[in-house]
Chains A and B, each alone.
Chain A
Amino acid sequence: MFYRKLIILLITILAALNSFSQDCNFTLNGHVFDETSKLPLSFVNVFIQETASGTTTDEDGNFAFDNICFGEYHLSFSHIGCDAQKIHLDITKDTLIKIGLLHTPTSLGTVVIEGKTNELINQANLSISRQTIEDKLNENLSALLENETGVHLIKNGNGISKPSVHGLYGNRLIILNNGIIQSGQQWGNDHSPEIDPFSADKIVVLKGASAIEYGNGNLGAVILVSPKRIEREPHLHGQINYAFESNGIGNSLNARIGKYSSKLAWRLNGTVKKSGDKKTSHYFLNNTGITETNLSIQLEKSWNDNLYFDFYGSTFNTTLGILRGSHIGNLTDLEQALSKEIPFFTEENFSYQIEAPRQNVSHHLFKTKGKYFINENQNVELVLAGQINNRKEFDVRRSGRTDIPSLSLIQYTGNIELKYSNDFSNQWKLTLGNQNIITDNSNNPETGILPLIPDYLSWKNGFFGTLSKSINKSHFNFGLRYDFEFQNVATISNSTPREIVRFENKFHNLSGLFNYKYDLPNKQSVSFNTGYATRNPGINELYSNGLHQGVSGIEEGDHKLNTEKALKNTLEYEWFPSTRFSLSALAYHQNFKDYIFLEPQDEIRLTIRGAFPVFKYVQTDAQIYGLDLSSQFSLGNSFLSMLKYSYLRGVESKDGAPLIFMPPNSFFGSLTYRVKNPINFSTKLILEDTELEITNKFVFEQKNLLPDQDFVDPPSSYNLIGLKLSSNIIFSGYKMRSFIKIDNLLNLKYRDYLNRQRYFADDTGFNLAVGFNFKF
């Protein structure tokens, strides 16, 4: 179980001396080390909340408090480049504790194994911690991942964004919300994942093919968004987060409250957000406001350490405005919009008003999980989950029809999953599982428009097994998966009279992986991963038919598409010689057979609304390859620097022609200065863990593109500078984390290749954000 062996928190109470003595005569000694390298960590700030006393660890990572009274205490640990940790402790005797802190920024490639129950993530991945989530309250899920190597954002304006990992997105990228595959209209490039990152404690990106447990389609990556188990804390605890941002005059508020009890542990989490029109370097982006209301509940219950049960329910509701000037009619309109320096409909004034074009999306999830420990080494897990996704998109329409959605979809999804795992004594580990997912997708005929995506019913049934073994310095990992998918589709013809045309499909998918990691001397390691997977074409790729207003083109699926096949190889090198330096390099190559993509056709289709470009889903053999580099190093005891570089290229195999919509290369660097000692303004007001960070992001121009592959040339390279000042304010024993952050410090005018709004307007300008986090 998680809490027996929490990855970030290793507490071992060793000594039991002086169990009977005076009340305030106990000592508390401790040792703090880096979880990744196991080396001692010096200069860690240790703070006891109840006594408001603090100290720092010495060269050997040790610290000591004397004259501690009998009682309950909350201790916090913080260090440059680490996620701050808090623990609860009963002092009844002299106590020695050991704490492992995880270096968060360069956890690319870290092996994260949670508990004995094999939530095995044994390969190229990186993770976003709770503190990073808290410091980005004003952002959405995708934006949290923005500066990670190999991760890029596909945007439609500032409010709508989805992640792309190693150039793959949409149907090829799986997002798991608390262990359940996020189901919705993931095919659309203008559809954000409907998840509140604030309900999560950790976001992990699995870049390799190792994510075999999580379903087919995983030719790309898997993003895990997970809340952690409720802390074993008998008191009522919670936190309140608030953030303000100047660009869009946005306010975000999040509150979380929870309590552990052996009867039932619970946690509630709620978030509300509202922001108005964003601004570029010199004009407003009208109708780009956002509102969001989210709530989640988490319940946990254990019986005699053998049976564990949890329930998770969440609701996510958002209204997203889309730049009015990006809503256009035919090809002539597009050409005219492209030639405008400032988009049509740009107004002088800021507004919170969200009018058409806009999206109203709600997503509800419930999940229950039961886990039974047969014995020390074996357990079975049963998961039942349901999701409802309701998406309505509104366009500017004639005769008062603006209030009627032009796209109205409702999707119900049910999951049943069974998993068995066994840790054999001789370092063999086995996991077997079965997943069933049934999806029912319907168009609401209220739109008065022929649907772009047809109604369908699909059923997926997948079986998987993984096996891992460590022999001395070698770690092996095998995985195999088979998926059956059944689709029953009811399309409406676009000839007259309209009639229903039915399709029925059965697909078989197979995927397999092999991973080998070898530990070299001096904390170096090399790992090789090879994975083969097939993905059957999605409903949109098979049956899209009609005008996609969002992209002002006619999109046509092809019901004869073949299953896509891919072979991905990755080679990774890691070096963690000390807590002061780390380096990691990941090279990957993915070879596709029958890669499916939406290709602009030479054909222009004439309609009464004028000419429209035609896009068709076609297949080709393709290759995507790249390199991710990241390094972190300390300069003295006060400075920490981080460097990241991503290179990516996608080409068609037959003639080397570029693939469209591939992320440009990028470089990210940051330098953090940490004030070593607390700043004392008075005995009552202390600033602790004060850090100043400067970030620099350079995105290269996407040169790997032919002129006739897009309406306009890709935008030029740009360089964004950011600043962040953060500190823990301790006032009369209460601690509050606060930050001031500036994005696009120089108010640079720029456009980004992966942001579709670039056809019409600049990207966002200067933004100042202020945030507070109060834990109780």
Chain B
Amino acid sequence: MNKKNLLLALMFITAILFTACKKDDPVIPDEPELITTLNYSLTPIDGGSAVILSFQDLDGDGGNAPTINGGTLEANTSYTGILELLNEAATPVENITEEVEEEAEDHQFFFQSDLSNLSFIYNDTDANNNPIGITTTLTTGDTAAGNITIILRHEPNKIAAGVSDGDISNAGGETDIEVTFPINVL
């Protein structure tokens, strides 16, 4: 072996490198886990048309800011609340609420409001008789303006103190959803 041969080998390999210097197109992953949309429809128990609170972020984390639509509720009224989670970036649109229902033991929605006389009651339970929160009853108090925050926790400790009553303090787990809607109670 001599230096000339080494040099030739090096030049040959360098030439190969030069010919292949464009990265192939990456495969754009499907994002089945993405939740783009949350709809909270509130139907007055005594009849009337539903109010829909919606949060929509079609491009996921980052990118464009989400669209948030709040709503107006009547004072001293009970509503049936139904949550719907969608992935609208997929075609056809995927219903994520079903995924949450399938893993109900590992999920729980929490409802919070800065309006002290606004109350939420869970209307559904998982196999262990703990609440989920896909359906709820919301009861408004007197006239006020404020916010409703809806949180979905994955793998919360559902038997910790207060959690089944909707107190998130001891729940733990990680947040899959946390959205806040402005509301007016008239």
Contact = CB atoms under 8 A, between A and B. Distances in A.
A and B are partners in one complex rather than unrelated chains: yes
Interface of A: 307, 325, 327-330, 332-333, 344-345, 370, 372, 380, 382, 396-399, 401, 416, 418, 434, 436, 438, 440, 442-443, 445-451, 454-457, 459, 461, 486, 488-490, 492, 494-496, 498-500, 545-547, 554, 556, 605-612
A493 to B, nearest CB: 8
A421 B59 CA distance: 56
Nearest to B169: A336
Contacts of B63: 494-496
A209 B63 CA distance: 41
A605 B62 contact: yes
25 contacts: A330-B175, A332-B178, A333-B174, A396-B154, A398-B100, A398-B154, A399-B102, A399-B103, A416-B10, A440-B23, A443-B29, A446-B29, A448-B29, A450-B60, A457-B20, A490-B23, A492-B26, A494-B60, A495-B59, A496-B58, A496-B59, A607-B57, A608-B57, A608-B177, A608-B178
Contacts of B10: 416, 418, 434, 436
Contact of A500 (B21, B25, B64): B25
A612 B61 contact: yes
Nearest to B68: A606
Contacts of A416: 10, 13-14
B36 interface: yes
Interface string B17-35: 1001111111111111101
B65 A606 contact: yes
A449 B13 contact: no
A218 B26 CA distance: 31
B115 to A, nearest CB: 19
Contacts of A457: 20-23
Interface of B: 1, 3, 6-7, 9-10, 13-14, 17, 20-33, 35-38, 55, 57-66, 89, 99-100, 102-103, 151, 154-155, 157, 172-179
Given A329-B176, A608-B179, A611-B178, A445 B27 contact: yes
B26 A442 contact: yes
Contacts of B99: 398-399
Given A382-B6, A416-B10, A448-B30, A396 B64 contact: no
B23 A455 contact: yes
Contacts of A445: 26-30
Given A459-B21, A607-B57, A448 B28 contact: no
Given A434-B10, A490-B23, A608-B55, A459 B17 contact: yes
Given A329-B154, A344-B173, A451-B29, 12 more contacts: A370-B1, A380-B6, A382-B9, A398-B99, A436-B14, A445-B27, A445-B29, A545-B62, A546-B61, A607-B66, A609-B175, A609-B177
Contact of B6 (A325, A418, A443): A418
A283 to B, nearest CB: 15
Contacts of A396: 154-155, 174
A606 B38 CA distance: 14
A446 B1 CA distance: 47
B164 to A, nearest CB: 17
Nearest to B64: A495
A496 B89 contact: yes
A609 to B, nearest CB: 6
B58 A492 contact: no
